[in-house]
């Protein structure tokens, strides 16, 4: 049995295949995911699992060097933005528009769809290296 924290095999597989600067997105249940991008749907019901809980677990497995967040997240959901900043620590944040974020999903290895129903609860994680 797997010893580390992340039990979801689909997320674990994507993380294990990621290289430096590859991207992985986590989104709310309304985020439109392009057909060509792998969808990992973990949504159960409203807000289960939450975006921030999912982000915290993924960060236990994935080394990141930067994130991309929509400016709308900061403006419409400032409390969530503060939680994101706490979760990622001293990692570079690049602010883009929500439309740009949706376009960049095509370049992500996968998008994890949560049950979150907070507006603009979306993020793109840029993989770093552990050395």
Known binding-site residue numbers for substrate: 28, 98, 120-122
H or E segment and range at residue 67: strand 64-70
Asked if the model's pLDDT at residue 8 lies above 80, the reply is yes
Known binding-site residue numbers: 28, 98, 120-122
Q: Which residues carry out catalysis?
A: 20
Instruction: Out of 4-18, 21-35, 70-84, pick the least confident.
Output: 4-18
Q: Cis link prior to 49 (omega < 30° from 0)? A: yes
Q: 31 with 62: CB under 8 angstroms?
A: no
Asked if the model's pLDDT at residue 2 lies above 90, the reply is no
Q: 33 with 111: CB under 8 angstroms?
A: yes
Q: To the nearest whole number, what is the mean pLDDT of the chain?
A: 96
* pLDDT per residue as tens digits for the range 93-128: 999 999 999 999 999 999 999 999 999 999 999 999
pTM score of the predicted model: 0.96
Please determine, looking at this structure, whether the domain spanning 24-127 carries the CATH number 3.90.1300.10: no
Asked if the model's pLDDT at residue 1 lies above 70, the reply is no
Asked if the model's pLDDT at residue 27 lies above 80, the reply is yes
Asked if the model's pLDDT at residue 5 lies above 70, the reply is yes
Q: 83 with 56: CB under 8 angstroms?
A: no
Portion of the chain with pLDDT greater than 90, in percent: 95
Hey, where are the domains in the chain? Answer: 24-127
Plot region of 16 (φ>0 → left; ψ -120 to 50 → alpha; else → beta): alpha
pLDDT of residue 3: 66
């Amino acid at each position: 049995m797997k010893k580390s924290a992340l039990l979801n095999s689909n997320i674990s597989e994507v993380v294990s295949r990621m290289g430096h600067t590859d991207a992985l997105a986590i989104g709310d249940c309304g985020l439109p995911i392009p057909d060509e991008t792998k969808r990992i749907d973990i949504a159960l019901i409203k807000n289960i699992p939450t975006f921030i809980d999912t982000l915290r677990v993924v960060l236990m497995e994935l080394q990141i060097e930067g994130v991309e967040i929509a400016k709308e997240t900061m403006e419409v959901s400032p409390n969530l933005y503060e939680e994101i900043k706490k979760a990622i620590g001293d990692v570079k944040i690049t602010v883009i528009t929500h439309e740009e974020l949706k376009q960049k999903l095509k370049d992500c290895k996968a998008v994890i769809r949560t049950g979150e129903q907070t507006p603009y609860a979306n993020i793109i994680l840029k993989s770093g290296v552990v050395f």
